[in-house]
A and B are shown apart, each in its own frame.
Chain A
Amino acid sequence: MGCTAADVVAAVRAAAAVVQEHRDELVRLDQAIGDADHGENMKRGFTAVVSRLDAEPPDTPAKVLKLVATTLISTVGGAAGPLYGTAFLRASSALGDAAELDSALVARALQAALDGVIARGKAAVGDKTMVDALTPAVTAAASADGSVAATLSAAADAAAEGASSTVPMVARKGRASYLGERSAGHMDPGARSTALLLRALADTAAKA
């Protein structure tokens, strides 16, 4: 079974719920090595996404992702706004006007999202950023084969591992980089939120 615009809307709503649920955790992670606003910023952004989806649900998967992108860009406020905004925008472009997604399209969208995040934030693997979660997710998605659910699940597993891998890292990008060595020992909040989002998308696909 393919993945329609309605399925993508459901997945984004699930992602918004997960962000809401983990708001305090993201705040705590960001308190340790950043400016403590990631949880609140993400919650505000995804709350705005949900109210726009309520008002006018888009009719293709690409349009859903584009709505997410433009909403996050204008409502998040911190670095996550332009970074996730770019990720969703590039993913949206990669989908074209497809009415249903298959696993190959999902993998391509994830790759486009990663390329966008790297272009925007200039971060590489090992810098202790969301790139450390998204890069292994893209690799896993590209080699997964089968359903959209299986592809997203592989991506989510890899992202979770990638997020964990940021704990010992010394940050080289973003506000945490000002802490130098003291940034080690904490998970990067952006990597954590990336893993949470992918898990929510995968779980929704598995239920569809």
Chain B
Amino acid sequence: MTDTTRVGLVVVSHSDMLANGVAELAAQMAPDVTVQPVGGTEEGGLGTDYGAVVEALADADSGAGVVVLYDLGSAKMTAEMAVESADDPSRYAVVDAPLVEGAVAAAVAAQGGASLADVAATAEGASSETPAATPNRPALHLVQGAVSAEVQLTNEVGLHARPAALLARTVAELDADVTVRYGTEEANAASVLALMGLSAPGGKSITVVATGKDAEEAVRRIEELAERGFDD
């Protein structure tokens, strides 16, 4: 899937270790997304290095733009200055998001080919709270043309981070709206955080409901994924 240009990410932290750790976590969810960590001062201390942020922005941009996440206030200011100094500041979005959840959510959205604006919005919508499922929505399988299936989570850990990311990615490529239900909770399958928020453990079943042109394909692919144990 390397033929598609994806939005890149830059993680700006006061700490080199923190930036690298967040980037590692986000990259695991999104193998084809460039996640560029930049942390610490030039001498290796805590702080932010303006020049290094400028370079990271350029390195992360493969043509679709870059979403920039930061840890503390002065990292935000450094990121904003770097963006303002760029030839085309509109290619970069500094987002106000929880660093870890935001980076993970943004990486998955970018992997799915989302636009700069959508990746930025996904990061900003990522909350450190358990992601909102929508328990009171009318049951989607009553919607006309919806395709649904019971899917057993055969892997040991259920819908934890990596399987959730895999599921979200699978769906992102298709023209379908997919909802995953576990117990009384529902989650939009496009949101890896919402999927994780279902806390669906291994051995249990989830209900997958899809609408749209590729609804059948979406359900089929998720069934396949589950049968393969999410490649765990």
B72 within 8 A of A: yes
Report how far A77 CA is from B72 CA in the complex, Å: 13
Q: How many residues of A contact B (CB 8 A)?
A: 20
Q: Total A-B pairs in contact (CB under 8 Å)?
A: 48
B81 within 8 A of A: yes
Q: Quote the shortest CB–CB distance from B45 to chain A (angstroms).
A: 7
Are B77 and A77 within 8 A (Cβ)?
Answer: no
Are B47 and A37 within 8 A (Cβ)?
Answer: yes
One digit per residue, 1 when the CB lies within 8 angstroms of any chain A CB and 0 when it does not, for chain B 47-88 equals 111110000000000000000000011100110110000000
Query: In the complex where A74-B51, A175-B72 touch, is A121 in contact with B77 (Cβ < 8 A)?
Result: yes
Binding site for A on B (CB under 8 A): 41-42, 45-51, 72-74, 77-78, 80-81
Q: Which residues of A contact B51 (CB under 8 A)?
A: 74
Report how far A62 CA is from B9 CA in the complex, Å: 36
Q: Which residues of B contact A75 (CB under 8 A)?
A: 42
Query: In the complex where A77-B41, A175-B72 touch, is A120 in contact with B77 (Cβ < 8 A)?
Result: yes
Task: Give the residue of A74, A86, A121 whose beta carbon is less than 8 angstroms from that of B49.
Answer: A74
Please give me the 5 A-B residue pairs with the lowest Cβ-Cβ distance, nearest first.
Answer: A77-B47, A79-B74, A82-B77, A77-B41, A74-B50
Q: Which residues of A contact B41 (CB under 8 A)?
A: 77
The closest CB in chain A to the CB of B45 belongs to: A77
Q: Quote the shortest CB–CB distance from B88 to chain A (angstroms).
A: 20
Task: Give the residue of B42, B73, B80 whose beta carbon is less than 8 angstroms from that of A79.
Answer: B73
Q: Which residues of B contact A78 (CB under 8 A)?
A: 47-48, 74
Supply 28 A–B pairs (Cβ within 8 Å), ascending by A. A41-B47, A74-B49, A74-B50, A75-B42, A76-B47, A77-B41, A77-B48, A78-B47, A78-B48, A79-B77, A81-B48, A81-B50, A81-B74, A81-B77, A81-B78, A82-B50, A82-B74, A82-B77, A82-B78, A82-B80, A82-B81, A83-B77, A85-B81, A86-B81, A120-B80, A121-B77, A173-B73, A174-B74
Q: Which residues of A contact B81 (CB under 8 A)?
A: 73, 82, 85-86, 120
- Extra contacts, 7 of them, besides A77-B48, A78-B48 (Cβ < 8 A), are A74-B50, A77-B45, A78-B74, A79-B73, A82-B78, A86-B81, A121-B73
The closest CB in chain A to the CB of B72 belongs to: A175
Q: Quote the shortest CB–CB distance from B48 to chain A (angstroms).
A: 6
Q: Quote the shortest CB–CB distance from B46 to chain A (angstroms).
A: 7
Report how far A35 CA is from B47 CA in the complex, Å: 10
Q: Which residues of A contact B72 (CB under 8 A)?
A: 175
One digit per residue, 1 when the CB lies within 8 angstroms of any chain B CB and 0 when it does not, for chain A 113-154 equals 000000011000000000000000000000000000000000
Max count, chain A CB within 10 A of own CB: residue among B72, B80, B81: B81
Q: Which residues of B contact A86 (CB under 8 A)?
A: 81
Are B46 and A37 within 8 A (Cβ)?
Answer: yes
The B-contacting residues of A in range 73-102, CB under 8 angstroms, are 73-79, 81-83, 85-86
Are B49 and A77 within 8 A (Cβ)?
Answer: yes
One digit per residue, 1 when the CB lies within 8 angstroms of any chain B CB and 0 when it does not, for chain A 34-45 equals 010100010000
Q: Which residues of A contact B78 (CB under 8 A)?
A: 81-82
The closest CB in chain B to the CB of A173 belongs to: B73
Q: Which residues of A contact B47 (CB under 8 A)?
A: 37, 41, 76-78
Q: Which residues of B contact A76 (CB under 8 A)?
A: 47
Q: Which residues of B contact A173 (CB under 8 A)?
A: 73
Report how far A174 CA is from B74 CA in the complex, Å: 8
Report how far A9 CA is from B47 CA in the complex, Å: 28
Are A175 and B73 within 8 A (Cβ)?
Answer: yes
Report how far A83 CA is from B49 CA in the complex, Å: 14
The closest CB in chain B to the CB of A89 belongs to: B81
The closest CB in chain B to the CB of A35 belongs to: B46
The closest CB in chain B to the CB of A40 belongs to: B45
Q: Which residues of B contact A35 (CB under 8 A)?
A: 46
Report how far A81 CA is from B74 CA in the complex, Å: 8
